[in-house]
Amino acid sequence: MRQVDISELKIGDTLGAPVFRRDGGLLVDAGVEITRTLVRALETARIKQVVLIDSQDDIAMIQKDRHANEAVAERQTKLHDASENELERRFLEQKLEDLKERLSDLYAPHRENQMMMELHDAALAYLSERLLRKEP
């Protein structure tokens, strides 16, 4: 790879490294082909130099880095989703406990009634199944 001034860019060259704005945000990723529009964008962003690809080895390295970055992003997404799922599961468990307590309060005066006992048990089973997708 080689570092060149923006004035030396040729249409069709390929970036060998990502280019970041002054605020740290990504302007353009590695592996992108140089176009007139991209040159203007780099000039507008006041970028002075970029890294270009020199060989097939450079291309392979960029692709390997990109795959590694995608794998990291995928793992981060899975961890985030797992955290959200865990929070939702905890919320539903608490909701279920609240509903069980309310149901028990409603059932308490009717403990001797067989039909009410069966209704109570069926309601508990239904709530557990619907909220947690498992048996009570």
C-alpha torsion 60→63→65→66, nearest 10:
170
pLDDT tens digit string along 24-82? 888 998 889 999 999 999 999 999 999 998 776 667 777 777 777 777 778 888 888 88
- Higher-pLDDT residue of 55, 3: 3
Do β-strands 49-52 and 26-28 pair in parallel, antiparallel, or remain unpaired? unpaired
pTM over 0.75: no
Rounded Cα gap, residues 13 and 36, in angstroms: 11
Percent of the chain with pLDDT over 70: 93
pLDDT tier for residue 20 given thresholds of 50, 70 and 90 = very high
Determine the average pLDDT of the residues in 95-124. Answer: 84
pLDDT of residue 1: 81
